[in-house]
Amino acid sequence: MSSAADKLIVALDFPNASQALALVDQLEGRCRWFKVGLELYISAGNHVVLELKKRHFGVFLDLKLHDIPNTVAGAVRSVAGLGADLLTVHAGGGPAMLAAAAEAAAGLPQASRLLAVTVLTSMDAAQLAATGIAARPAEQALRLAKVAHESGIQGLVCSPEEAAQMRHELPGSILVTPGIRPVGASVGDQKRVATPAAALSAGADYLVVGRPITLAKDPVLAAEAILSEIAFVK
């Protein structure tokens, strides 16, 4: 399962570090990557990231930075000392912001690999239209991905529905896909989803899985089932 564990990122979407690290303890020896998002980061701050790195885990710091270019560049530099492996910025921030983030990261000896978030997996065409965007989610995601590439950011966060097109249009990208739901799992607030096998077959490099593991009666068994599915994808 070694190669499978390299592809699974477990989302630690918990309100505090104690709960998050309790799950990490349960999954240790099985999972190698964990995501720290806004809920946990606002509660636990840098401590939880540093603790995960101390334990030699890969850390996906999902802060979705979105502000004026100078502020985002400063945030990228501030995060550098934490040792997070992956860090997200919002592609919707535009080319100047994305370029500032890329330039800031390039000037650091231990910068996180930047990922540009395209269209959230909780958004469908109706949600996009409500924000004034008439394009389909796939069209908008690809448009933003190309802006990110042109601005110097090669990593992308997209739904599994867009992974195949991203892989074709932007070869060499690192593709991280949330919205992963095993067969029979609740979709929840996600709109554009796929099974682990389908997302990998479409070209995803990393799968982000939260509630199907964290809310499972037995998180270890749930993680092992996903790892087994990943292992069988050629």
Could you list the active site residues? Answer: 64
For residue 46, what are its two tokens?
A: 């840098």
Sequence-distant (≥ 6) Cβ neighbours of residue 126 within 8 angstroms: none
For the chain, give the number of residues.
234
What is the 3-class SS of the chain, one letter each residue? CHHHHCCEEEECCCCCHHHHHHHHHHHCCCCCEEEECHHHHHHHCHHHHHHHHHCCCEEEEEEEECCCHHHHHHHHHHHHHHCCCEEEEEHHHCHHHHHHHHHHHHCCCCCCEEEEECCCCCCCHHHHHHCCCCCCHHHHHHHHHHHHHHCCCCEEECCHHHHHHHHHHCCCCEEEECCECCCCCCCCCCCCCECHHHHHHHCCCEEEECHHHHCCCCHHHHHHHHHHHHHCCC
